[in-house]
Amino acid sequence: RVTVVDVGGYQLTTAEQIDFFESLKYGKAHYTVGGFIGFGALFGIDRGTLTGVSMRYYFVPFPKGIEVLDGVFLKEFGGFYITINFGSFY
């Protein structure tokens, strides 16, 4: 089965053997260990009204890699994140 989809003047052609939703039952889970290094601070007068900011760098290695394009594998996921928090500390 060949599927052709017109996307903004480009044609995306796929030649899969089975439909996308049918293929979900054949998926396998793969696990890895990751972590992060970060720092942050919470600001506020009492624990009921806190605001905070944190910066983290996540490390998520995946030794086998995940194929994101034909023949292109990503082996490192993660990156730099900045978060702003609003809420309470209960």
Give me the pLDDT at residue 56, please: 96
pLDDT of residue 46: 79
- pLDDT tens series, the chain, 90 aa: 555 566 666 665 566 677 778 878 888 888 888 999 999 998 888 777 889 999 999 998 988 888 888 888 889 888 999 999 888 766
As a dihedral over the C-alpha atoms of residue 11, residue 15, residue 18, residue 22, rounded to 10 degrees, the angle is: -30
Number of neighbouring beta carbons within 10 Å of residue 11: 8
What pLDDT is recorded for position 48? Answer: 78
Number of domains in the chain: 1
Asked whether the whole model's pTM tops 0.75, one would answer no
Domain coverage including residue 60: 3-87
The pLDDT score that the predictor gives to residue 35 is 94
